[in-house]
Structure 1
Amino acid sequence: MTTTSILTLSLEDFLNKPNIDESPAWEYINGKMLQKPMPQTHHSRLQLKLATAIELVAESNQIALAFPELRCTFGGRSIVPDIAVILWDKIPFNEAGESENSSFFSAPDWTIEILSPKQNSTKVIDNILHCLEYGSQLGWLIDPDERSILVFQPQQTPKIYKSNLSENETAQQTLPILDTIDLRITAEQFFGWLKMNP
C-alpha cells in the first residue's frame, strides 16, 4: 500500500485541513495523516453490493444505515471505514428528518473494511480493533483476493470465513451480522457478487 504521511500534527489541525475528504480520503492515525488507497473494481463492487443489501433490510425498519466512506472521529483518530453501519438511534437527524450532513463522532456499530491490492492488512486491522475498543459491536476485514472475511467481535477470537474451498465448512456458514439486522449471507454468496451476468 502506498501511503503519504506528513509531520505529526494534532487531530484538530487534521480536521481543519481542506483536502482530507478528497478521493481517496485521508485518515488520522497516531498523529499522522495517511491517505487510503484508491479502490479497484472488486473493492467497489463488494462495497456497493454490501451497503445496498444492508440498507434494504435495515433502513425501511429504521434499524440502521450503511454509510460508505463516512468519516468517523473518536478516540484520538479520524478514520474512514469502507462501510460504517450506524444504528438508527445514534444517527443525528435534523428537523427535516434528514441525517445531519457531517462527520460522525463515535465508533460505528459495525465497521467494514475491504482490502485493496497491496494494502497493508495490519494497519486496517488496527483500525478495526480501535473501533471495537471504542464501542463497535462488529468488524469485518474483507480480502477479495483471498475470498475471505475475517470477523472481529468484542471479547472473542477473530474467525475467518472463506469462499470457494470445498473443504472449508465456513463457505456455507451464515456470516455474523449485527443482531438487529435481518441479513443472512454466507461467504460463498458474498463473493458471488463479483460474478457478472453478461
Structure 2
Amino acid sequence: MITDYSIQAVAINAIPLIFAITIHEAAHGYAARKFGDNTAYMLGRVSLNPAKHIDPVGTVLLPLALILMQSPFLIGYAKPVPVNFGRLKNPRIDSIWVALAGPGSNFIQALIWLILLILLVGLGIDEKFLISMSQAGISWNLSLLVFNLLPIPPFDGGRVLSGLLPTRQSLALDRLEKWGFYIVLGLMFTGIISNLWMTPLLNFFQWLILLLTSPLQMLF
C-alpha cells in the first residue's frame, strides 16, 4: 500500500523526471537534425511532448520502484530517439555531438533547478513543495547525466567512446550494444557502477554546478 509520503514523493519527482527525460531525448533528435539526419524529426521525436518519449517501464515503473525503495540513485530512461548515423555529415565526429546532446541537456537542467533552489531559499520563499521539487530536479538530472555517460553501448557514453576509438576498436565496441543493458545490470548488482562510476562523477558534477552558481549564491 502506498503511503502519504510515497504519494508526495511521486508528485515531487514526476515533473522534473518528465522534463529531464523528454528534453534529453528531444536534444538527441534536435542535434541529429542539425548534423544532417532528419529521422527523429520525421517521426515526431524532436518534441517536448512527453507522450512522444515515455517508456512504460523506464519512465514510470523503474523510477517509481526506486522512489518506493528510497534508492540513493534515481535512474530512468525513455524510448531511444532513432538516429541514422550514416546520414550525418561527418558520422564519426557528429555522432559524438549527437550522443552528448542528451547528457548536456541534463546538465543544463540541473543548473536551472539549482538556480531556482538558490532563489527560493535566498528570497525566503518557504514553499516546501517547490524546494523539494528543485532538489529532485537536480538529483534526477545529475543521475541521468552520469548514468547515460557510461562508456558502454547503447548508452550515450558508449556512442562517444565509439566515435573516439579507431575504426577496428570502434566496431568491436559496437558489437556489445545488444548486450550492453545486461552488462550494466550485472555491474549495478555488484556495486561496481555505484562505487566506481556514479558516486565519483555525481560528486564532480555537483561540485561543478555549485561552482558555476557560486556568484549567485554570494548574492544571498
TM-score normalized by the length of structure 1: 0.28
- Identify the structure with the greater strand proportion: 1
* Larger gyration radius, structure 1 or structure 2: 2
- Identify the structure with the greater helix proportion: 2
